[in-house]
Chains A and B, each alone.
Chain A
Amino acid sequence: MSDMRLLVIEDDSEAAAYLVKAFREQGHIADHAADGLDGYARAAEGDYDVLIVDRMLPKLDGLSLISSLRAQKIETPALILSALGQVDDRVKGLRAGGDDYLPKPYAFSELLARVEALGRRKGAAGAQETVYRVADLELDRLSHKLTRGAKDIPLQPREFRLLEYLMKHAGQVVTRTMLLENVWDYHFDPQTNVIDVHISRLRSKIDKGHETPLLHTIRGAGYMIRDGAA
């Protein structure tokens, strides 16, 4: 997952410079707009894969920017960065047309994972595929059947959803909060490593007895399902 065109709309020049540099280091193309109007103009013209929008911006605030773009039928995925981290703020952000919401301060690894997930969403046909495949692991989304090699692996409903999400984003880092949000549909802070335990159970189901592990832990970031050789 490289070579995405990203637009960072952020008025804090230091934070923006950090983001642009960090995204470029990850192999993406990143531009910067310092206020809401400039951001709107660039987002409307440029062919970006993902917009990273600060919520509070001079001239035009982040939420208005996104809803204006949506009114113009510009559907570029947008991730909202905000110092307002409460549940209601997230709901407002998503209602304005944002696709994801990340409260400040955030870990860059979290932001990167979410941006890549959004970028993938734009182009991929992932949602329409009925069978996800990673190496010899096959998940049939209609029959909920999972096979690795020739072996059937029984799955609990939650395990199915967890694996489905991971495989939909195969090759991408998926963070713990992304899993909690997308698989469990909660945004609160679970304090303990509850997600890790679910992952390790899933891992023992799909990787146990196989030479190449598919479900990897990415240190300091989250998890990724990929062909071990890749």
Chain B
Amino acid sequence: MSALAKLFRTTAFKLAVVYSIVFAVAASLVVMNVGRNVRGVLEDQISETIDADIRGLADQYAQGGVQQVVQSIERRIRQSGGDIYLLTTFAGEPIVGNAASLPAATLSSDGLVETTYQRPGENKAHRRALARVFVLPGNYRLLVGHDVEELERLRKILRRALGNSLIWLVLIGAVGGLFVARRVLIRVDAMSESAAVIMRGDLSKRLPVAGSGDEIDRLAENLNAMLARIEALLHGMKEVSDNIAHDLRTPLTRLRNNADTALRQTGDPEALRETLDKVIGEADGLMRIFDALLTIARAESGTGPKMETLDVSRVAEDVAELYEAAAEEGGVAFSFAIEPGLLVRGNRELIAQALANLLDNGLKYGTPAAPGVASELRLVVRRVGPMVRLSVEDRGPGVPAADRDRVLDRFVRLEASRTLPGSGLGLSLAAAIAHLHDGALRLEDNAPGLRAVLEIRATTSAPPQVGRQGDMTRAGTG
């Protein structure tokens, strides 16, 4: 498509053409209206002049009869340029006047009429005039009129002016349209080019913004915001796949090394057995990572498992009871305060898993860094506004404010915890589960220590009463 053809096809140019036509029609209507009004005013003036003339001549007749009227008319003919007079007998024989060749109908008409006439001694036939016929006593007919050539001239001037301005209007409209279209086209082309660059893989490229704040800028800004989001997501995905590659390679390498060692240990059944146990341990560890990743992916995509109305207080009590013994064994003072009967719509297993992960983290990383501080782990479950808040608080070193968002990402493990066992998926899994339940996972400062706050949207509808064994205390200390 040639550049010009492209220009003609732009919306801006098409709009310019449409508006040129609209303005042309509007201008024509205005000029026509003005012309009609001006003509009306002039005709009124002419009509008044004629009436005054007639009244004057009628007075003359009353004073001096036909003779005086004839003299008056002759005088007026000599003086005026545009006025026409004709005095006839009843039979229509002209007595005096400067108009000839009048249509017969004119002389018998009533009121103001437009008529044609010929000036004596002139070749031009059919001059136009406005005239009125007045019948004097004695049945003389007096025609007084005024030439309207001037009106015609005015009409012509207006018509010419209208024609000229229409030509200019269309010209300016077309040029202006082309100019605007070109400007828009340049910007749209620049955006298309940027888009092409982005499609070729340079995701850091952005669409140009002219800075005028117009609709194209707004569109570009929104598209840029979308691109930034896409870039961030892709970046996150790349980071995840890098991390997966790293965090799966490490145990895979260990597994392979162990299998290799086993091959060379055929002479020593006990050592062989031990090495093979390690192989199985590594394989199980990989499986756990894999399962956690799958669960996260499912929870994040929202195509997660079946949700039902359940008593989250019950789930929290179960998990607390499950971890209580382990905490005590590890010398951690574990306590919990659980508001009974809180209902949420969710998946029991996943909520339990998320809570277990948080408690597990608390046990693993919650050892106080400062001397003299006792190890403490606390689970608090209560309703806050529309959410059920499950918080797990420890007295460990906590997570620096700058890292709090990052540790929720997959596989992120802070340097301080690298030496401890774990996949780095526990918090991301808990965060994904919170997200699936229309909530969020936040990490806060427990001063000192970490407070992991898991929020899940509460529901008020009653759950189906499911009889479950277990005779839990509602609150307790470990």
Chain A interfacial positions (CB closer than 8 Å to B): 85-88, 91, 105, 107, 157-158, 161, 184-194, 197-198, 200-201, 220
Q: B426: which A residues are within 8 A, CB to CB? A: 191
B14 to chain A, nearest CB (A): 56
Chain B residue nearest in CB terms to A185: B468
Contact residue among B295, B326, B357 (Cβ-Cβ distance under 8 Å from A194): B326
Q: Are B350 and A87 in contact (CB under 8 A)?
A: yes
Q: A161: which B residues are within 8 A, CB to CB? A: 469-470
CA distance in complex: A7, B357 (Å): 38
Q: B323: which A residues are within 8 A, CB to CB? A: 192, 194
Q: B202: which A residues are within 8 A, CB to CB? A: none
Q: Are A194 and B347 in contact (CB under 8 A)?
A: no
B268 at the interface (CB under 8 A from A): no
Q: Are B284 and A86 in contact (CB under 8 A)?
A: no
B414 at the interface (CB under 8 A from A): no
Instruction: Give per-residue flags for B327-370: 1 if the beta carbon is below 8 A from chain A beta carbons, else 0.
Output: 01100000000000000000111101100110010011000000
Q: Are A105 and B305 in contact (CB under 8 A)?
A: no
Q: Are B349 and A187 in contact (CB under 8 A)?
A: yes
B42 at the interface (CB under 8 A from A): no
Chain B residue nearest in CB terms to A180: B322
Q: B349: which A residues are within 8 A, CB to CB? A: 87, 186-188
CA distance in complex: A111, B316 (Å): 30
Which of B161-169, B286-294, B388-396 is found at the contact surface with chain A?
A: B286-294
A198 to chain B, nearest CB (A): 5
Q: Are A188 and B353 in contact (CB under 8 A)?
A: yes
Q: Are A197 and B329 in contact (CB under 8 A)?
A: yes
Q: Are B280 and A88 in contact (CB under 8 A)?
A: no
CA distance in complex: A229, B87 (Å): 159
B321 at the interface (CB under 8 A from A): yes
CA distance in complex: A50, B352 (Å): 31
Q: A91: which B residues are within 8 A, CB to CB? A: 306
Q: Are B360 and A193 in contact (CB under 8 A)?
A: no
Q: Are B326 and A192 in contact (CB under 8 A)?
A: yes
Evaluate whether A86 and B322 lie within 8 angstroms (CB atoms) in the complex, with A157-B471, A190-B356, A191-B357 already known.
no
Q: Are B363 and A192 in contact (CB under 8 A)?
A: yes
B298 at the interface (CB under 8 A from A): yes
Evaluate whether A191 and B356 lie within 8 angstroms (CB atoms) in the complex, with A161-B469, A184-B322 already known.
yes
Within 8 A of A (CB), among B451-478: 468-472
Evaluate whether A188 and B280 lie within 8 angstroms (CB atoms) in the complex, with A158-B321, A198-B325 already known.
no
Evaluate whether A86 and B294 lie within 8 angstroms (CB atoms) in the complex, with A192-B360, A198-B325 already known.
yes
Q: Are B284 and A107 in contact (CB under 8 A)?
A: yes
Since A86-B294, A88-B306, A107-B280 are in contact, a sample of 16 more A-B pairs with Cβ atoms closer than 8 Å, ordered by chain A residue number, is A85-B294, A86-B295, A87-B347, A87-B349, A87-B350, A186-B318, A186-B322, A188-B349, A191-B356, A191-B360, A192-B326, A192-B360, A192-B363, A194-B323, A198-B325, A201-B325
B283 at the interface (CB under 8 A from A): yes
Q: Are A194 and B291 in contact (CB under 8 A)?
A: no
Query: What is the total number of residues of chain B having a CB less than 8 Å from a CB of chain A?
Result: 38
CA distance in complex: A86, B305 (Å): 8
Q: A189: which B residues are within 8 A, CB to CB? A: 288, 291-292, 353, 356
Q: A190: which B residues are within 8 A, CB to CB? A: 322, 356, 360
Q: Are A186 and B352 in contact (CB under 8 A)?
A: yes
Q: B59: which A residues are within 8 A, CB to CB? A: none
Q: B193: which A residues are within 8 A, CB to CB? A: none
Q: B305: which A residues are within 8 A, CB to CB? A: 86-88
Q: Are A157 and B356 in contact (CB under 8 A)?
A: no
B478 to chain A, nearest CB (A): 11
Nearest first, the 7 A-B pairs at minimum CB distance are A188-B353, A197-B325, A157-B471, A197-B326, A87-B349, A88-B305, A194-B326
Q: A192: which B residues are within 8 A, CB to CB? A: 323, 326, 360, 363-364
CA distance in complex: A26, B292 (Å): 33
B253 to chain A, nearest CB (A): 19
A188 to chain B, nearest CB (A): 4
Chain A residue nearest in CB terms to B292: A189
Chain A residue nearest in CB terms to B356: A190
Contact residue among B280, B283, B298, B468 (Cβ-Cβ distance under 8 Å from A86): B298
CA distance in complex: A91, B348 (Å): 13
Q: B306: which A residues are within 8 A, CB to CB? A: 88, 91
CA distance in complex: A96, B412 (Å): 40
B277 at the interface (CB under 8 A from A): yes
Q: B348: which A residues are within 8 A, CB to CB? A: 186
Question: 26 interchain pairs (CB within 8 A)?
Answer: A85-B294, A87-B347, A87-B349, A88-B305, A88-B306, A105-B283, A157-B471, A158-B321, A184-B318, A185-B318, A186-B318, A187-B349, A188-B349, A188-B352, A189-B288, A189-B356, A190-B356, A191-B426, A192-B323, A192-B360, A192-B363, A194-B322, A197-B325, A197-B328, A198-B322, A200-B329
Instruction: Give per-residue flags for B305-327: 1 if the beta carbon is below 8 A from chain A beta carbons, else 0.
Output: 11000000000001001110110
Q: A186: which B residues are within 8 A, CB to CB? A: 318, 322, 348-349, 352
Q: Are A105 and B277 in contact (CB under 8 A)?
A: no
Q: Are B318 and A85 in contact (CB under 8 A)?
A: no
Chain A residue nearest in CB terms to B318: A184
Within 8 A of A (CB), among B252-309: 277, 280, 283-284, 287-288, 291-292, 294-295, 298, 305-306
Q: B347: which A residues are within 8 A, CB to CB? A: 87
Q: A158: which B residues are within 8 A, CB to CB? A: 321, 470
Q: A194: which B residues are within 8 A, CB to CB? A: 322-323, 325-326
CA distance in complex: A87, B308 (Å): 13
Q: B326: which A residues are within 8 A, CB to CB? A: 192-194, 197
CA distance in complex: A200, B325 (Å): 10
B467 to chain A, nearest CB (A): 12
B254 to chain A, nearest CB (A): 17
Chain B residue nearest in CB terms to A108: B280
Chain B residue nearest in CB terms to A85: B291
Q: Which of A157, A190, A220 is most buried by chain B, counting CB atoms within 10 A of its CB? A: A190
Chain B residue nearest in CB terms to A86: B305
